[in-house]
Structure 1
Amino acid sequence: LIIAAGTGEFEAGISKDGQTREHALLAYTLGVKQLIVAINKMDTTKWSESRFQEIIKETSNFIKKVGYNPKHVPFVPISGFNGDNMIEPSPNCPWYKGWEKETKTKSTGKTLLEAIDAIDQPTRPSDKPLRLPLQDVYKIGGIGTVPVGRVETGVIKSGMVVTFAPAGVTTEVKSVEMHHEQLVEGVPGDNVGFNVKNVSVKEIRRGNVAGDSKNDPPKGADSFNAQVIVLNHPGQVGAGYAPVLDCHTAHIACKFSELLEKIDRRTGKSVENSPKFI
């Protein structure tokens, strides 16, 4: 989370409608549970220790409300413009003794790079069924139809039979590539292109999801239950509300049929059943 230390800039960012507040809330809601706070533009404050401490105090309060534990979060004073404390410790803040975070193992360091290296690496869900949302579909001369997307779970390899949902198209994967190089398999986190047999560009599109047809293939859904956080809305939201839903690479209109309950965001406990509006 990059925070600007400049007078007025920090305050604007963490105000009720500020970007900093929104970014932290979105990150936590989307499942990002590890955080680093880089306090940027420290050169514009003449490397003021009191300003740094003031920002840490305010930021700790608000990230705690979002759901993060400030003790698990390194706070690093940096100047992106001059490169201070990015890769090498800076001589401009002799008062700065370094960051520390208390997770399973206690980590300490001085620079932003060290803080990034101290992140616990998430496990990649390669043992789950394949889910690959399509970002685009290309027609390449001499090769054919090439869907492109990021492997979210599972693996994709040549010879596999895949199903695209909700289109209901099933076909064989001829080859898998990343950065113009053939891959034996694409794993979670890889952005891949894969060539498919006997499928025209018109049959599949961005927002479709590819899965292994022999292992729990994806299916279209007519309805689903969702947990929604209202970040900002001018009026009330109730049954019949029709927003546009962005889900992985799909962008599609939907309608709220009913509100089941209102829950406390931090505890997950229900505070009201069947509310009329939120």
Structure 2
Amino acid sequence: MDERKGVEGRNAARDKPMLPDSSAQPTHAAWQNGGDGLLSAQLTHAALADCAVLIVAAGTGEFEAGISKSGQTREHALLAYTLGVKQLIVGVNKMDSTEPPYSQKRYNEIVKEVSSYVKKIGFNPASVAFVPISGWHGDNMLEPSKNMNWFKGWSIERREGCANGVTLLEALDSILPPSRPTNKPLRLPLQDVYKIGGIGTVPVGRVETGVLKPGMVVTFAPANLTTEVKSVEMHHEALQEALPGDNVGFNVKNVSIKDIRRGNVAGESKNDPPVEASAFTAQVIILNHPGQINAGYSPVVDCHTAHISCKFAELKEKIDRRSGKKLEDNPKFVKSGDAAIVDMVPGKPMCVESFSQYPPLGRFAVRDMRQTVAVGVIKGVEKKFVAGGKVTKSAQKAQRSK
């Protein structure tokens, strides 16, 4: 779980690699709360998480503001689902500030409203743990609260087995570690790149598919740079191999911190290495746009850890958002509620993949006007193969010795 210290310390902590929680499960959770200023970081953390913890405020007026059409509660739940987080815990916070305090009626109202919305997004409410809490007073955080004797606990139903408990910690312990695709080629989107004294350049990110090992020769896209991995660490411990789900730092030789950046993707150079995308075709659902979207629209696309302006080059088809059936060829525009097949062109070099091959690199959110206006799934990628990319001396040496 990401151990950020709350909103006050967010600038220092929000982009650090996620830290393990102290509970039993080796999973990662992204806390979803706060204002617009946190959304960029939350997109990254959501893309790294196995479970989202959605914190909603129970105070009078606060919940209503969050669940409104432009509210953050809706935004965060939607982002989590879009970015592939399929497990959700809802903490109904500030129960001490309801009227009257610790009101069962208020809690039930909120559960009903949030259940309805998360169901529309795609979550199954029966598999969501709802926990009434007070973060300030500690109610139902680690131990059952004496202020809410009416709460008999949460229970969730899922194919992998049911679970139940009372506290938020117990809900976190019920998170299922997802299966990890180790047999696929390596894909590791970079969350950040650090320069560490005495070590050198250290990219940081989560292994999405495949395996990362010391001695492996990797290619970064769209930087088109190939080098050798000298060492791999997780939580300050050296690893012989990093598996999908591991948030790691790895040392690369002969690479400047200016050569690679957040949003680049690392892959094994000899096993379907990542390549820059010159264009891609996506199925896009327009969620919340005040007007019409025409060809030429250029919002920001958040895909894995990349945040790049992309142009809607061509609106190819309008489709039924549930069945996928074609409704209209070459629509002149799309609007809120519509789904479409769109050809998209990145405004700057970008690496994405088709959802069918590499799901974590094939889903995205479209952001404009400080909100998510659409979500999408990539159907196909036009790759830009460029000869003559930089190959470091350490990579050349490693390749000769193999």
Q: Do the two structures share a fold, i.e. TM-score over 0.5?
A: yes
In proportion to residue count, which structure has more strand? 2
| Secondary structure of 1:259 counterpart | strand
Q: Superposition RMSD on alpha carbons, in Å?
A: 2.2
Are positions 1:224 and 2:280 aligned together?
yes
The 1:161/1:240 distance shift into structure 2, 3 A limit, reads same
Are positions 1:72 and 2:146 aligned together?
no
1:184-203 residue pairs with structure 2 within 5 A? Answer: 184-203=240-259
The answer to which of 179-188 and 6-15 deviates more is 179-188
Task: State the 1:272 CA deviation.
Answer: 4.2
The 1:273/1:82 distance shift into structure 2, 3 A limit, reads farther
Task: State the 1:261 CA deviation.
Answer: 3.0
- TM-score (structure 1 length as normaliser): 0.90
- Equivalent residue letter for 2:123: Y
2:84 is aligned to 31
Structure whose alpha-carbon radius of gyration is higher: 1
Q: Count matched residues.
A: 278
1:14 is aligned to 67
| Secondary structure of 1:2 counterpart | strand
The answer to which of 252-261 and 42-51 deviates more is 252-261
Task: State the 1:136 CA deviation.
Answer: 3.5
Q: 2:178 aligns with which of 122, 131, 134?
A: 122
Deviations along 1:61-120, one digit per CA (max 9) or x if unpaired, are 222222222222222111111111111111112221111112122322111111222222
The 1:9/1:143 distance shift into structure 2, 3 A limit, reads closer
- Equivalent residue letter for 1:36: I
1:236 is aligned to 292
Cα distance in 2 for residues equivalent to 1:112 and 1:77? 9
The 1:71/1:148 distance shift into structure 2, 3 A limit, reads closer
The 1:24/1:179 distance shift into structure 2, 3 A limit, reads closer
- Equivalent residue letter for 1:170: T
Give identity over the alignment, percent. Answer: 73
Task: State the 1:273 CA deviation.
Answer: 4.0
Cα distance in 1 for residues equivalent to 2:256 and 2:269? 19
Give unmatched runs, 5+ long, in structure 2: 1-53, 335-402
| Secondary structure of 2:163 counterpart | strand
- TM-score (structure 2 length as normaliser): 0.64
Are positions 1:53 and 2:108 aligned together?
yes
Deviations along 1:151-209, one digit per CA (max 9) or x if unpaired, are 22222111111111122222222222334432212222333332223334443333221
- Equivalent residue letter for 1:155: V
Task: State the 1:146 CA deviation.
Answer: 3.2
Cα distance in 1 for residues equivalent to 2:195 and 2:162? 51
Task: State the 1:265 CA deviation.
Answer: 4.4
Give unmatched runs, 5+ long, in structure 1: none
The 1:12/1:145 distance shift into structure 2, 3 A limit, reads closer
Deviations along 1:28-59, one digit per CA (max 9) or x if unpaired, are 22222222221111111211111111212222
| Secondary structure of 2:312 counterpart | coil
2:339 is aligned to none
Task: State the 1:224 CA deviation.
Answer: 0.5
Cα distance in 2 for residues equivalent to 1:140 and 1:44? 46
